[in-house]
Amino acid sequence: MSVPGSLRSPGLRALWDLVRERLEKVGIENRGRVPLPELLSPDRLALQAVLDRRLGAMVDLRVLEAALNRLGVGEDLPCALAALGHPISPEPAARRAQRADRRRAHAEARAAATAWPEAWASDWIDAVIRAGVLRGFDTAQVRVLIDHVRRVLDALERDQDIKRSRVDLAARVLGSAHALDAGTRLGAAVEHALRLRSDAYESAVRRELWEQAGVHLDLTSGPVLTWGMPLCKDTTLERLTSAASAAGIPLHLSRFALEQHPIRVPQDTRVLVVENPRVVEAAAQMRSRMPVLSTNGQPSSTVLLALEQLAESSAELYYHGDFDTPGLAICERIVSLALTPWRMYASDYRAALEAAELERAELPIDVNAPASTSWDPELRRVFDEERRIVHQERLLPGLIEGWLD
C-alpha cells in the first residue's frame, strides 16, 4: 500500500488523531464530521488536493474516506488510518460492546423479575445488580440464574413446614448440593431475595436469613463455646459439661446438641456472655467459678439458641465485649435480647483508658463513629471523643477475677 508523503506530514497528525478519536468514540461503522484543525499552508493545500474541494470548518469523514480510497490508501477509513500510522484501538469498541451486553443482561433480568408475584421483586433485582451478581453474565446466564432463584423460592413456599439443610435443598431443587454455597452467585441472589422476603433487618447475617426461611446451613459447625456451665442434673448434657469442667476444658455445644437436648441451669444462675473466645479460654485456665459463654463476634444462631434456653431457665445473663465500634454494636444487639451489660459503661471505658496510659500502651484508633449505646448514652459520647479501642483481652485477668460474686 502506497501512502503519499504529503499525507505523512507532521502537520496533518492532528487531523488523523481527531479522525481516530472520532471512530474510537462512536464506532468504526459510523462517520460524521470532525473539526478541521489549524494547518500550515502546505498541509492545507495537500489536504485540499486529496479531497478535491475547498476546505471548510469541518471535514466530512465519508468524503475523506472516499478520497483516501481513490488514492489507494486503505479499503476504508480505519485501514487508511492504520496505513497513516494512526491505528484505531480495539479497546473502546470492546468497552462499548461490554456495556451493551450488560444493558441487555440487566434488561433481561428486570423483565424476568417483573413477572414475579412478589411486590419486592423489582427491589430484589436492583439489589442483585448493584451487588455485581450478574457481572459478566449474558442474557442466557441471567435467565438461568433467575429461574433457579424462582425454583428455590417456590420450594421454600411449597414446603414451609419442612425443616431441611441448605445442601439438601440445593441437591433436590437444583441438582447440585453446592449450588447455594456461600460465595456462589446463585447463593448470593437467593439471600438477597430471602432478606426482602422476610423483611429482615439490614445487619441480618447469612445464617439467620436461611433459618428464617426454614433452612439450616448445618447443625454441627459454628458451635457455641462455653465454660463451667452448671446444667441441671436432669438434663442430658449435664454429665458432658460436668466432665469438661472437671477436666478444665472449655466445651463446644453444637446446634444439633442444643436442639436435641436443650440446656437448663438452676434458677438465677449468673452467666457471663463475652464477645471473644479468649475470655472463655482464660476462665478455663484459671478454673474460674463463673459460667461463661462466647458469642465469638456477632452472635450466631447457635449462640442465640443457647441464650434463649438459658433465659427460659431464668438464668441471669450479663454481657461484656470490646470497646470498639463493632463491639458496641454487638452490645446494642445483645441488650435488645434482654441481657444486662456488665462493665460496659462510660466509667469502665475511662478506667480502661487510664490503665492503658499508666502502662504506656498505645491503643489502636477506631476510624468509625459508634452507633447508639442505649444502655449508657454517655459511653457513645465518650467513645466518639476518644476513639481508642480497648479489647477484652487487655482486661484479663481482672475481667474474670472481678466477676459478680
Nearest to 86 by CA among 9, 179, 184: 9
One domain, residues 196 and 293: no
Domain boundary among 71, 89, 107: 89
Same domain, 298 and 169: no
Provide the pLDDT for residue 219. 76
- β-strand partners of 320: 274
Provide the domain limits for residue 366: 224-401
- What is the C-alpha separation between 184 and 203, in angstroms, rounded? 20
Of 50, 69, 89, which residue is a domain's last? 89
| 229 and 353, same domain (yes or no) | yes
List pLDDT tens digits, range 204-242: 677 778 878 888 777 777 799 999 999 999 999 999 999
Dig out the grid coordinates for 170 from the structure: 440445593
Domain boundary pick from 68, 89, 110: 89
Do residues 231 and 316 share a domain?
yes
* Residue 351 and residue 249 in one domain: yes
Q: Please name the amino acid found at residue 267.
A: Q
Q: What is the pLDDT of residues 27-57, one digit of tens each?
A: 888 888 989 999 998 888 888 888 888 889 9
Inform me whether the pLDDT recorded for 162 exceeds 80. Answer: no
Indicate whether 364 and 304 sit together in one domain.
yes
Q: Are residues 32 and 106 in the same domain?
A: no
Check whether residue 142 and residue 231 sit in a common domain: no
Mean pLDDT, the chain, rounded, equals 90
In the structure, what pLDDT confidence band is assigned to residue 132 with cuts at 50, 70 and 90?
very high
Q: Are residues 396 and 304 in the same domain?
A: yes
> How far from 81 is each of 14, 91, 95, CA to CA, in Å?
12, 16, 21
Q: Is 47:39 a contact under the CB 8 Å cutoff? A: yes
- My answer on whether omega of the bond before 397 falls inside 30° of 0, hence cis, is yes
Give CA–CA dist 237/112, Å, rounded.
51
Tell me, yes or no, whether 241 and 373 share the same domain.
Answer: yes
Q: Do 169 and 197 have their domain in common?
A: yes
Number of domains in the chain: 3
pLDDT one-digit tens code per residue, 331-372: 999 999 989 999 999 999 999 999 999 999 999 999 999 989
Q: What value, to the nearest 5°, has the Cα angle with vertex 301 and ends 160 and 316? A: 125
Residues in the chain: 405
pTM above 0.85, yes or no: no
Give Cα separations from 372 to 319, 365, 378 (angstroms).
Answer: 16, 19, 10
Claim to verify: residue 149 and residue 285 sit in the same structural domain: no
Q: What is the pLDDT of residue 269?
A: 96
